[in-house]
Chains A and B, each alone.
Chain A
Amino acid sequence: MRYLPHTPADRQAMLAAIGVDGIDALFVDVPGQALLPAALDLPHHAGEMAVEESLTAMAGRSLPAGAAACFLGAGAYRHHVPAAVDHLIQRSEFLTAYTPYQPEVSQGTLQYLFEFQTQVALLTGMEVANASMYDGASACAEAVLMAHRVTKRNKALLCGGLHPHYADATSTVTQFIEFDVDTRPANPSVVEDLGALIDADTACVVVQTPDLFGRLHDLRPLAAAAHAKGALLVAVVTEFVSLGAVMSPGEMGADIVVGEGQAIGNALNFGGPYLGLFATRQKFVRQMPGRVCGETVDEDGRRGYVLTLSTREQHIRREKATSNICTNSGLCCLAFCIHLSLLGEVGLRQLAQLNHSGAVHLAEQLAALDGVEVVNESFFNEFTLRLPRPAEAVVGELVGHGVLAGVPVSRLYPDDPELANLLLVATTETNSEGDVAAFINALREVLS
């Protein structure tokens, strides 16, 4: 076994040093009947070449997005990740370190977490951010729990344009405590008046922008309405590249901003691991869940960083912790931080413009097709199409044309026939003119 250093002689010598005859003398505390006498009847060890071959074959039984014209979004976006990002995150010192509990030998991790927190705060227009959470959906659930702690109120109002995975994760996490989640119906043709639904029990209103259907929302009126009634406004962003072109939720009055950071620095990975982002106002910092990194000095007065405010966390506070979460998405944060450092102010704004102009072009061309309607007034790089027949079938037919056309809304809302013809279409800088032409031509053909 290439990963195991001991020779049989080493093992014998060590057993002798311990003073036992055989390895099972060390498993003596296991109830006898439960100790397996031999290896399970499953395949035995395999060399690197064999494992690589079998997994490569398995990978070959899927169609990578890059091998097709891919227009899928709905909370996961295919952007170009510069080669330097993946190279740097694979450095041993980042990849194979643990949570930075010994700051004297973990300043690499701690400093990038501090930089990452700053980047997230800047993008969202908030004062502070944590060192990340599992993903956007779980960050959303944690935001609602935090609003519950801050306001001591027992209800959350979720907009209909909130990604249903986020709404579901929120309902799941709050289902066994005294808390109600009011998820509004999903419908891209309806303008919601959430402000009117806020009452004295409302802990927070959760609004996604751009929302599931791609629509952008001016949060200012809602922030005012929420604050007037003592509720918090939670803004959700699932495509962080949008913040290069769109006003930040912080500027529009949000109290907590959560979202999915995958779009910056991270591959699609079939849905995970992703990167939950969490930012809020300074005054709520002790109610914020998750790890945070803070600045300090060492004994020689040199600036350095430590994990701080840990008394909020489970390993100290146990059942009174702000959250049960222990792990963050360390390496995904690093990828985000490096990619955003490469982009910088100029690059991110240009990338966002590029995405938006591509989407505007695509929307125009799609709208020109017979029977196809672009539902959105406003959008960033994703919008909703209304097709003349169920989107799921159309998407299935387009696969044969080498086009991954988008996410049928019915995949997310299978029980709502009104949404069956809707298709979410996203485009990024990775979509070439050829991809767009392939999509338009194939869709024309399939619909004719």
Chain B
Amino acid sequence: MSEIYYTEDHEWILVEGDIGTCGISEFAQEQLGDIVYVELPEPGKVVAQNDELAVVESVKAASEIYAPVSGEITESNDELVDEPGKINEDAMGDGWFFKIRISDAKELEDLLDKAAYEALIAGQR
């Protein structure tokens, strides 16, 4: 069983057991345009919710990616380093950034569900 949540900063986290896979939303990749560079966290890094964790850059913009929840990074999507275009092609799939072992599942309650996120971006489009 898996469940997807979003943050107001346009990150998503797909939760499977105690592992969350995180990336940026389709809306975010559209807004950024061609992504040229990502900086990803090292596996093993322990972070608190809302810590700055990664950076994503397009030609004319840079955005920080924050930890949607607290936990430990278990894996980074190293393929993005050489092929950042994957984020544009498949933001919700192959363009994932990192996986995190969630230390406090209660924090997921702070996040948006799909409907709430869609309402949020409807106002921003």
Question: Do A and B touch (CB < 8 Å)?
Answer: yes
A53 to chain B, nearest CB (A): 49
Residue ranges of B at the interface with A (Cβ–Cβ < 8 Å): 36-37, 57-62, 64
A119 interface residue (CB < 8 Å to B)? no
- Tell whether, in the assembled complex, residue B37 and residue A310 are in contact, meaning their CB atoms are under 8 Å apart: no
* A316 contacts across to B, CB distance below 8 A: 60-62
A389 interface residue (CB < 8 Å to B)? no
A286 interface residue (CB < 8 Å to B)? yes
A284 to chain B, nearest CB (A): 13
A90 interface residue (CB < 8 Å to B)? no
Which 10 residue pairs are nearest across A and B when measured between Cβ atoms? Answer: A311-B62, A311-B57, A317-B62, A316-B62, A316-B61, A316-B60, A311-B61, A310-B60, A311-B37, A286-B37
Residue on A nearest B61 in the bound complex, by CB: A316
Residue ranges of A at the interface with B (Cβ–Cβ < 8 Å): 286, 310-311, 316-317, 320
B28 to chain A, nearest CB (A): 16
Residue on B nearest A317 in the bound complex, by CB: B62
Given A310-B60, A311-B36, A316-B60, 14 more A-B residue pairs with CB atoms under 8 Å apart are: A286-B37, A310-B59, A311-B37, A311-B57, A311-B58, A311-B59, A311-B60, A311-B61, A311-B62, A316-B61, A316-B62, A317-B62, A320-B62, A320-B64
Give CA–CA (A311, B58) in the complex, Å.
8
Count A/B pairs, Cβ under 8 Å. 17
Residue on A nearest B56 in the bound complex, by CB: A311
Give CA–CA (A310, B57) in the complex, Å.
10
Q: Can you sample 6 A-B contacts with CB below 8 Å?
A: A310-B59, A310-B60, A311-B37, A316-B61, A316-B62, A317-B62
A282 to chain B, nearest CB (A): 14
* A317 contacts across to B, CB distance below 8 A: 62
* B60 contacts across to A, CB distance below 8 A: 310-311, 316
* A286 contacts across to B, CB distance below 8 A: 37
Give CA–CA (A317, B58) in the complex, Å.
12
Give CA–CA (A316, B56) in the complex, Å.
13
* A311 contacts across to B, CB distance below 8 A: 36-37, 57-62
* A310 contacts across to B, CB distance below 8 A: 59-60
Give CA–CA (A444, B45) in the complex, Å.
69
Give CA–CA (A398, B59) in the complex, Å.
58
Residue on A nearest B55 in the bound complex, by CB: A311
A55 to chain B, nearest CB (A): 43
* B64 contacts across to A, CB distance below 8 A: 320
Give CA–CA (A311, B57) in the complex, Å.
7
B116 to chain A, nearest CB (A): 29
B113 to chain A, nearest CB (A): 31
Give CA–CA (A299, B61) in the complex, Å.
22
Residue on B nearest A306 in the bound complex, by CB: B59
Give CA–CA (A320, B64) in the complex, Å.
10
Residue on B nearest A312 in the bound complex, by CB: B62
* B58 contacts across to A, CB distance below 8 A: 311
A292 to chain B, nearest CB (A): 13
A420 to chain B, nearest CB (A): 52
* B37 contacts across to A, CB distance below 8 A: 286, 311
Give CA–CA (A334, B83) in the complex, Å.
35
A9 to chain B, nearest CB (A): 44
